[in-house]
Chain A
Amino acid sequence: GAGVSQSPSNKVTEKGKDVELRCDPISGHTALYWYRQSLGQGLEFLIYFQGNSAPDKSGLPSDRFSAERTGGSVSTLTIQRTQQEDSAVYLCASSSLPTSGRALREQFFGPGTRLTVL
């Protein structure tokens, strides 16, 4: 089936504006993750969804960042009052249910949304 899709692929916005990034996970994947990757930096975890609930929001950098997931499928990441330091590639990944005591399930990544805040 189709892989993880994200939209838009590129977003240029002005400082102070709000942006919404969308992720469509692989059908049937109950776990969904948001990461971001800044230029020359590694992968930074933002939030993890299990179904529609987010048991781990520890990576959200500030209260300007929020995310929701509806119907156990599509997720949106919202950044309010964007700042220049928010510029990065925002990646979404999905996986089967993570299980304890067994190997970590592989995560399938989307192509990312490149956010540029001017």
Chain B
Amino acid sequence: DAKTTQPTSMDCAEGRAANLPCNHSTISGNEYVYWYRQIHSQGPQYIIHGLKNNETNEMASLIITEDRKSSTLILPHATLRDTAVYYCIVKSISGGSNYKLTFGKGTLLTVNP
């Protein structure tokens, strides 16, 4: 799986959009970008994933650059409950054990009132 780089921490004002960047410059053609988050003392939570097109669901939007070397997770109207560590992961669709999730350090997003 390609390596990802994320800022250690970010702050966002409540009600504003939170834009979380992820660099994955070594991503290959058959690798997807996934985002999970982990709120303090809870299990990780799936947010969204994409291959090359931008994706949106009820939780967030995922913007992937045309060269696929970086992406941004957007929480359009951040709330205090969105304070969590956000993990960007790159996973291949091939390979017998691609189900194994491994998280790096992630970005601690703090939403401030």
Residues of A within 8 A of B (CB): 4, 31, 33, 35, 42-43, 45, 48, 56, 58-59, 91, 93, 95, 98, 100-112
Give the shortest distance, in Å, between A31 (CB) and chain B (any CB).
Answer: 7
Q: Are B94 and A101 in contact (CB under 8 A)?
A: yes
A-B contact count (CB 8 A): 65
Give the shortest distance, in Å, between A89 (CB) and chain B (any CB).
Answer: 8
Q: Among B32, B41, B43, B102, which residue has its beta carbon within 8 angstroms of that of A103?
A: B32
Interchain CA distance A117-B79 in the complex, whole Å: 36
Instruction: Known A-B contacts: A43-B101, A93-B43. Give 19 more (CB < 8 A).
Output: A42-B104, A43-B44, A43-B103, A45-B101, A48-B99, A58-B97, A93-B44, A93-B101, A100-B93, A100-B94, A102-B93, A103-B49, A104-B32, A104-B34, A106-B49, A107-B46, A109-B44, A109-B45, A111-B42
Interchain CA distance A59-B49 in the complex, whole Å: 25
Name B99's closest neighbour in chain A (CB-CB). A98
Residues of B within 8 A of A (CB): 32, 34, 41-46, 49, 51, 91, 93-94, 97-105
Interchain CA distance A59-B102 in the complex, whole Å: 12
**Majority SS of interface residues in chain B?**
loop
Give the shortest distance, in Å, between B23 (CB) and chain A (any CB).
Answer: 18
Return chain A residues, CB-CB under 8 Å to B101.
Answer: 33, 35, 43, 45, 93, 107
Q: Among B97, B104, B105, find the residue whose CB has the most chain A CB atoms closer than 10 A.
A: B97
The 7 closest A-B pairs by CB, nearest first: A109-B43, A106-B46, A45-B100, A43-B103, A98-B99, A42-B103, A109-B44
Name B97's closest neighbour in chain A (CB-CB). A56
Return chain B residues, CB-CB under 8 Å to A42.
Answer: 102-105
* With contact pairs A42-B104, A101-B94, A111-B43 given, residues A31 and B99 touching in the complex (Cβ less than 8 Å): yes
Give the shortest distance, in Å, between A66 (CB) and chain B (any CB).
Answer: 19
Interchain CA distance A43-B32 in the complex, whole Å: 19
Interchain CA distance A69-B92 in the complex, whole Å: 27
